[in-house]
A and B are shown apart, each in its own frame.
Chain A
Amino acid sequence: MNFSEVFKQSNQLCKVSPDGKYLATCVQYRLVVRDFNSLQIAHLYTCLDPVMHMEWSSDSLFILCAMYKRGLVQVWSLEQPDWHCKIDEGSIGLVSSRWSPDGRHVLNTTEFNLRVTVWSLCTKAVSYIKYPKACQKGVDFTADGRYMALAERRECKDYISVFVCDDWHLLRHFESETQDLAGLEWSPNCCVLAVWDNCLEYKLLLYSLDGRLLSSYSAYEWSLGIKSVAWSPSSQFLAVGSYDEKVRILNHITWKKITEFEHPATIINTKAVVFKEVEKRPVVGSEDLSIHQLTVDNSLFSTQSKYEITQLPAQVPVIKPDPDRANPKIGISALAFSADNRFLATKNGSFQVLSLFWHCSGSSLVLLSKEHICLCYVEAEEEK
């Protein structure tokens, strides 16, 4: 395995273009675009402020750099390096900025979530969407990029607006039956919108594309409710992870629960295989730690870890969260289906995994923590 040289970056802004040809990194106020294979600098752009957010457009032709402090967004073109675009939100401030799926519109969310401004790069037209809701996931685009669902809150009630991304035409606007909408997500086949309430109430609503309520699901009352939601890639299943450390799977025909998975602290199920990371640190005597050796021998501090299969019943370390604090670190916080619909990865409790996602082939799972990255290769067994 070869390693490239180390490059500087700031704010963890380092993204590969969707077509895989370029790698863009931000170093303070500079945007560096490198060719992915050779890592040679292809383009170098300078922004007016340290970049807080950077995003590739879907067709890999433009890069968006947002500077929240100044309320500025600058868009750079790869084809024409002299082309420039600067969006100034002015005194209204800027909280978040993102591309639309067609790669020609920039959606800026102003401060205090006052409105979402839709800037068009094609026509210089501006559209405003008032009262967007500030919640866990208030905006979602369909997979084909045709529709956008936005959560709004007016007069102490939740509404959902469905826009056509072509021309930002408001297709549907309907009230949501949630108390306090926490998030919404389109199904991969773009026909169903899953809407869930915040953790004070367990409520999951399913709306069809035209705004009709198809079904609602509530597993229990009073205790803390839904924490995370994930659709399966075929849209057949909806996985709901909640604070009671269970994942419930709903099916798309009846929208009823077909199964639920538990995350017990002691794993007894004989079909389960438990991998435990065992760290091996090389033992270093104190007299050996001279500066010379430190600089030369980097391997002194590298820990090698390998994974062992532990015997069942296996005990999973559980850290009890502080019950007085809000948003306790219990429950299913991350869910991910593999691309071939075969596996569901869940993260329960206060493990240090920040995100998990599958490789597009469905054969490996990537776990990211604050300092480490781990790849889990799944071997699919042939079923007789």
Chain B
Amino acid sequence: FPNPLSSISGISMSPSRQNLHHSLHSTMALPKTSYSVLSAFCTEENISQCIAYINQEVCSLGLTGVSLESKSGSLSAVPVLNLLYEVLQLQRRAQRALHELETQQLKNGSDLEHLQHSNCRLKDQLEHTRRDNSGLHEGERQLQLKIKTLQNWLKSEKEEVQKLQSIISSRATQYNHDTKRKERECTKLKERLNQLLMDKRDKKLSIEISNHVGRSDGKRGLWKTGKMEARHEGEMYKALLSDYETRQRSLMMENSELKKVLQHMKKDMITILSPKKPEPANDSLEQAVSECEEEIGDPSRETLEQSCEQAREQLTNSIRLQWRKLKSHMERLDSQASLVASQEREGEEMMSRKEHEEEMQRMRMELQQCKEFIHMQQQLLQQQLSSPCDEETAALLNDCYTLEEKERLKEEWRLFNEQKRNFERERKNFTEAAIRLGHERKAFEEDRAAWLKTQFLNMTPFVDRKRSALSDSALSVGTEPEAKLQSTPPLVTKSLFSTPKAASVKMPSTADLYRTLHLIPDSRGHGKCQSGEMSTKSRLRNCSTDCSVLSFVRDENSPI
């Protein structure tokens, strides 16, 4: 028996907690491995003893024991299982308790650690604060010392100041005394000097004057009498009084003006305070109005008693009152207005915003248009300024602006040249015609002269001298027109052939020209049929040429 029991007790009494788990496992794993160990405890022979022992143990634990079946000496399983179950329960409870205890143990350990740490820290802190404290104490002590020294110093300074002040005052009195003494001495000296000089007065002090001068105001000097004194006094007081009177007058005026201003102010304030529109809950105002109305009756009284103290006070008081009321009224209005303004502000803003936005829109449009315009201008300017890439286009574009004019000019030049050519032609024709005409005329005249000659010769032979004279004259007459004719064509031709620049050449008058060309009927009036025909022909021709000649002549003069 003792061997298995001791072995069992050795197993059950597991010593250290590290082996707990091992032991638990070992106890849990008991059935397998230790059955062989426990086999020593219970054998076939010592069942009852084992049971008794187990019952003992179990009873000590507070569990019901197992009873032996007396029948076959075998154990009934149920109580044994119950027992086992209870033992297991016990075991589990014990394990749980153990577990709890272990956790508790851990917690306590950590708490202990923590506490130890904090303890250390606090100890350090305490040390630190102790040290600071001692330092501060030290500083305080020093400052106290300083204060003491400064106070002492201040005291000493004050004492010094007092001393100095007393010194100053004493010295001041000393100086005053000294100066007074000196002044007295001085006056004594002066007196003495005066005396001395007075004695000598008659000798030296004098005035030499040739003659007396009249007074500046022309009056005579007056004796000094009491009346004079009184008069002087009187004059003095008169001067003072007049000065005071003027001053008083000006002050009175000022005063009355100020009073008037105050009255006006009061009236204005009354009118401001008495509202035209009825305002709700303004009892104070109504009161004020009633008060004001009462007081309006006062001014008439006030104007009468201007110098009265009471009236003056009344006026100033009433003004003050009104002013206070006005102030409160204004404050109220201000607050109201601010409220209203904050309410209305949005609406107003919206209104103005709309307008504002419209304005903005319009302005933006304008701006856009202007910008586009400017842009366009800029582009054009760019095109202008930027030189064309090739020279041909440059050359072409060079005179593009004046192209129209140039074309026109060309046209006109062409026309001009044409006309010029026409004129040339006509001129030529005309000159030819004129030359021919001249020749024909010459021939005609020759014929006529010859005819006349024959006529005369056929007439009486007695009138030789007369005839000769007549013939001379006729000849001369005849030659005259000839000469004229001869002269005029060259003149005409000369004019015709003259350069355009020589306009200074004397032109034959148009009448002469016409006459020579027989366009105008002559005074002589002989026209032959031939010549007439010729003349008409030539006239016709000359008409055309004449116009051109004349126009040409005219053109000569005009500058081209």
Contacts and interface: CB of A to CB of B under 8 A. Distances in A.
A277 interface: no
Given A88-B206, A102-B216, A164-B236, 5 more contacts: A83-B211, A84-B208, A88-B208, A122-B215, A169-B228
A91 B213 CA distance: 27
A146 B217 CA distance: 12
A19 to B, nearest CB: 13
A256 to B, nearest CB: 16
Of the candidates B183, B203, B232, the one having the most CB atoms from chain A within 10 angstroms of its own CB is: B232
A191 B221 contact: no
Contact of B240 (A119, A131, A209): A209
28 contacts: A82-B210, A83-B213, A84-B208, A84-B210, A87-B206, A88-B205, A90-B200, A90-B203, A90-B205, A104-B213, A104-B215, A112-B190, A114-B193, A114-B197, A121-B212, A122-B214, A123-B212, A124-B207, A126-B207, A154-B187, A155-B184, A164-B232, A164-B236, A169-B228, A169-B232, A189-B243, A210-B237, A252-B247
B229 interface: yes
Contacts of A112: 190, 193
A26 B215 CA distance: 27
B221 A123 contact: yes
Contacts of A87: 206-208
Nearest to A142: B239
B222 interface: yes
A92 interface: yes
A216 to B, nearest CB: 19
A253 B236 contact: no
A207 B226 CA distance: 25
Interface string A195-229: 00000000000001110000000000000000000
Contacts of A166: 232
Interface in B179-213: 179-180, 183-184, 187, 190, 193-194, 197, 200-201, 203-213
A171 B229 CA distance: 8
Contact of B239 (A86, A153, A191): A191
Contacts of B213: 62, 77, 83, 104, 121-122
B212 A167 contact: no
Given A85-B207, A114-B190, A210 B240 contact: yes
Interface residues of A, number: 48
B424 interface: no
B221 to A, nearest CB: 5
Given A102-B217, A122-B212, A123-B221, A253 B197 contact: no
A156 B183 contact: yes
Interface in A228-269: 252-253
B184 A156 contact: yes
A28 interface: no
Task: Pick the 7 closest A-B CB pairs, nearest first.
Answer: A90-B204, A191-B243, A90-B205, A85-B209, A121-B213, A102-B216, A86-B208
B412 to A, nearest CB: 73
B418 interface: no
B228 A167 contact: yes
Contacts of B208: 84-88
B197 A124 contact: no
A164 B215 CA distance: 15
Nearest to A89: B205
Contacts of A339: none
A58 interface: yes
B224 interface: yes
Given A114-B193, A169-B224, A103 B216 contact: yes
A82 B183 CA distance: 46
Contacts of A171: 232-233, 236
A86 B207 CA distance: 6
A129 interface: no
Contacts of B179: 156
B216 A91 contact: no
Contacts of B221: 122-123, 167
B360 interface: no
B251 interface: yes
A87 B233 CA distance: 32
B237 to A, nearest CB: 7
A190 interface: yes
B215 to A, nearest CB: 5
Nearest to A121: B213
A373 to B, nearest CB: 33
Nearest to A77: B213
Given A91-B197, A156-B184, A171-B233, A124 B209 contact: yes
A59 interface: yes
Interface string A113-144: 01100010111101000110000000000000
Contacts of A88: 204-208
